[in-house]
Structure 1
Amino acid sequence: METTSGDYGQPRDEQELAAAAEVMQQSYAMSAADALAWAQRVGRDDLRLLRHDGQVVGTLVYMKMGQWYGGRSVPTVGVGGVGVHPVYRGHGTATTLMTHLLRDARATGAPLSTLYPATQPLYRRVGYEQAGARYEYRVQVPSLSFHERPLSLRAIEARDEAAITECYQRTARSRQGWLDRGAYVWSRVRTPRDGQAHGYLVEGTSGVEGYLYVVRKQLQGWKQELLLSDFVANTREAALRLWSFLGDHQSLATEAVWFGGGDEPLLRMLKEQTYSVKLHMHWMIRVLDVATALQARGWPAGFSGTLHLEVEDELFPENHGRFVLEVSDGEARVRRGGEGRMAMNVRTLSSLYTGFMSAEALRTMGAFVRVDDASVRTAMALFSGPPPSIRDMF
């Protein structure tokens, strides 16, 4: 029953969509109704199946989006909802499914693929590696004693969608790794699965300066928890108004909860450390196209440097071999050849690419096949920047 090959593609009809929902149901302990609703919400365009002898044995959600690196949006294929029919587990099905997915994604021209791992060995086998973090913040609402209301606040309406997107982009483009959201991820923000979200925005002279989406989760008794599927402020005035809005819930709400990186600037405005920051998960990326990925991202302005790389990639021969990376004033050029002074597998390149692990840390852990001191110093400067993070779960 080995599924080392298989027929991969989008659902062909409603019957296959229902079969995919059944795999999701058994993989994620969902009700049949919830699993079918999930499959229908994703739709045929963004669902991928693996078939064996005509039966659907594996599923995943395929998301076209981007990630911000160095102020530029790099196309990536997000992967979620990976599931395998229980009968076909332990037979290489998930590895086969992911191999098909990666070839499919590379063929579209996307240089990266991004996911949250339920299990790391599977994804490491096909070239993914840890590349950033997602943190959970919990703030005690009764401690929010903000009384300034410098901006007006109102409920978000359908006509605000473009302005909200632009407001998010102004913050996201400066945060290493944050998503350049596609339709699927925006739907997770506006219509999360764990309840109904209500959106509120704040406006200044330049338009929308901040917003949040909140799901009010009922706790024991009359108390509630405020789950923020998004919380963005581009100015201090916007942050003050949104904090005061959350503080207005103090008679009923215990905590406000949201997600982001380890360097959340909104926490700096709190009078006391009446909050907790906890690692939620490390996410992983897979470099699909070495040259395109390096050329697509932004680099430190005013700095020039050259790295002679050598990459090992068992899945994509196009990535295998030597490359010269030349960076100057925020732009990169990549060409074949060079001396291969910094040699690594494609997984090590993932951690280096995002800045999640420094070249010195990777050398300490023996992640390079070979490397010299000069290359480490250059890589430390080139791949510097804010710690990579993602706000969204997908």
Structure 2
Amino acid sequence: MRVRDLGPDDLVPFQQLCSLAFGGSVSATGPAPFRPGQSPLGIDAPGGEGLAAALTVRHDRIAVGGGIAPCGGIGGVSVHPAHRGGGMFARLMTAAIARSTQLGHAFSMLYPSNPGIYRALGYQKVSQVDRLVVPLADLRGIPAPAGLHLSPVTAAAMPEVRALYREVVDAGNGLLLREGPLFGEEMPAAPWTAVLVRDAEGTAQGYLSFARTPDGPAGTGLEVFDLLGRRREHVAALLRSLASWSTVTDAALVRTRQDDPLLDVIPGGRVRPDPEVIPLVMMRVIDTAAALEARPAPHGLHGSIRLRVTDATGPGPVAAAAGDFLVGASEGTVHVHRLADRAEDAPGSHEDPTPPDVRRDEDPGAGAPGARLDIHAASLLLAGGRSLADARRLGLAADADPAAEAFLDTLLAGPRPSVLDFF
């Protein structure tokens, strides 16, 4: 069955299929365009019985090691119960990977409820959306930092909020840029609320965004989306603001980054993980060269290696992900050159995936130390913050000459990927 682009007439059937799969209501009342910034794909059921399967590919950008890479966020993956087990899921996901390739995405990202079916398509778990239950009474003892005060976030203050978030993005891996059209410039609607912490000169130094919710089973009556401060004292001031809610609710559910600074400020040891299922974050390399060239090279890293990425997963090799590459670093910049693919590397294939501008009469990578990664190791490592030794400990194929391993570990170092948004 053919995978096709969905249009306005498909919005209600798509929402009905998502409601069937995930719960929730159908908001559309008739034909209407899908939200901009995404590519909805679907498969029609036999006999004109509506949609059998559908998903959306978001057009996001994410942080990678101080740079920015385009990323296809996969959401709303739904297959009607009458058509499960017939191969529609793999066909739909293969089309989504192909669409990300066409759109020039470096990565694909998703939140799986069943990681195994996505791993078979080349996705690798790289992180998780961490949410912690923070007892609010424990925060009351945090000393008040001098020279700081809080102010409510209004529409006029949203540029300051976005600028603070972007500072955090630039220093991390995996965080979404929260750009239009998927993210609006306007202030989010209630119950979203936020406060800024300002210094004595009135400069915004951090912000806390949250929503008051009905008390959950863990006593949580606040959901905290972002708690971000430039320095330790700014984080402390925002945590003190959270403490003021202890008179009406017991705890807050706080989304955190990997190695979040707030964990070093919270006193006591009663913080605990969210008792609900923790969403995993899986990523897949779509374009190896784009994923590497998106990041700056660390200061002092010079030289080049030969990198081979193999992809033997379900949808077949993604041309931009698999192959031989010469990866070089100099003057803070990463350069990637695709090398001519050798016939013996693709048994039974007579199609030449090498771009026409690649010279075949020379091997610019001759003599360079080499590294060999399968698609899962490449997806783990190129997302940042992990070493080749980490990949091997996970049982992934990550082999390298010592010099190439040191080069890649230096190039791809940094915080482990963090994600604060769901889609």
Distance in 2 of aligned mates of 1:299 and 1:259: 30
Match of 1:198 in 2: 193
Note the alpha carbon deviations across 1:239-268, whole angstroms, 9 max, x for none.
Answer: 232122111112122112212223010121
Q: Does 1:103 align with 2:98?
A: yes
Query: What amino acid sits opposite 2:98 in the alignment?
Result: R
1:364: how far off? 4.4
1:27 offset after TM fit, Å? 0.6
Question: TM-score normalised to the size of structure 2?
Answer: 0.81
Equivalent residues of 2:36, 2:181 under 8 A apart: no
In structure 2, distance between residues paired with 1:220 and 1:139: 13
Quote the offset at 1:228 in angstroms: 0.6
CA contact (8 A) 2:376 2:396 kept: no
Number of aligned residue pairs: 382
Among 315, 318, 342, the alignment partner of 1:316 is: 318
The question of 1:262 aligning with 2:258 is answered: yes
CA positional deviation for 1:197: 1.8
**Structure 2: how far apart are the matches of 1:321 and 1:236?**
45
Aligned pairs (5 A) from 1:251-330: 251-277=247-273, 280-313=278-311, 314-330=316-332
Mind listing any 5+ residue stretches in structure 1 that lack a counterpart? none
> Which whole-Å CA distance do the structure 1 matches of 2:234 and 2:90 have between them?
46
2:166 aligned with 1:169: yes
1:185 and 1:392 in contact (8 A); partners too: no
Tell me which residue corresponds to 1:72. 67
AA matched with 2:221: E
Query: Quick check: 273-282 or 92-101, which moved more?
Result: 273-282
Partner residue in 2 for 1:21: 15
Task: Give the corresponding residue for 2:362.
Answer: none
Contact 1:20 1:49 in 2 (8 A): no
Deviation at 1:365, TM superposition (A): 4.7
What letter matches 2:278 in structure 1?
A: H
- Aligned residue in 1 for 2:121: 126
Contact (CA 8 Å) 1:305, 1:382: kept in 2 or not?
A: no
| Greater fraction of residues in strand | 1
Which residue matches 1:243?
Answer: 239
The corresponding residue for 1:160 is 157
SS in 1 for 2:279: strand
Determine the structure 1 residue equivalent to 2:371: 342
Match of 2:40 in 1: 48
How many Å separate the matches in 2 of 1:370 and 1:147?
50
DSSP-derived class of the 1:273 partner: coil
Give the fraction of aligned pairs with identical amino acids, expressed as a percent.
24
Pick from 209, 212, 216 the counterpart of residue 212 of structure 2. Answer: 216
Q: Does 1:233 align with 2:225?
A: no
2:401 corresponds to which letter in structure 1?
Answer: D
**What does 1:182-197 correspond to in 2, within 5 Å?**
182-183=179-180, 186=183, 196-197=191-192
Seen in structure 2, the aligned counterparts of structure 1 residues 220 and 327 have a Cα distance that, compared at 3 Å, is: closer
Q: TM-score, with normalisation over the residues of structure 1?
A: 0.86
1:362 Cα deviation after fit? 2.3
> What residue ranges of structure 2 are gaps of 5+ in the alignment?
340-364
- The alpha carbon displacement at 1:184 in A equals 7.0
Asked if the contact 2:17/2:79 (under 8 Å) is kept, the reply is: yes
Q: Distance in 1 between matches of 2:391 and 2:39?
A: 36
In structure 2, distance between residues paired with 1:212 and 1:41: 34
Which one of the candidate residues 121, 132, 150 is aligned to 1:137? 132
The structure-2 alpha-carbon separation of the partners of 1:160 and 1:40, relative to structure 1 and needing over 3 Å to count, comes to farther
CA 240–85 in structure 1, closer or farther in 2 if over 3 Å, else same: same
The DSSP-based 3-state class of the residue aligned with 1:231 is strand
- The answer as to whether partners of 1:137 and 1:258 remain within 8 angstroms in 2 is yes
List per-residue Cα deviations over 1:202-227 (Å, max 9, x = no partner): 23336322112221122289x75211
Matches within 5 A, 1:23-42: 23-30=17-24, 32-33=25-26, 36=28
Q: Find the aligned partners of 1:358 and 1:322 in 2 and give their Cα distance.
A: 20
In structure 2, the CA distance between the partners of 1:19 and 1:308, relative to structure 1 (3 Å rule), is: same
Whichever of the two has the greater Rg, that structure is 2
Query: In the alignment, is the contact (CA less than 8 A) between 1:42 and 1:61 conserved in 2?
Result: no
What's the CA shift string for 1:95-133, capped at 9, x where partnerless?
111111122122122211111112223222332212223
Query: What SS does the corresponding residue of 2:197 show, helix, strand or coil?
Result: strand
Q: 1 or 2, which has the higher helix percentage?
A: 1
User: Which residue is 2:408 aligned to?
Assistant: 379
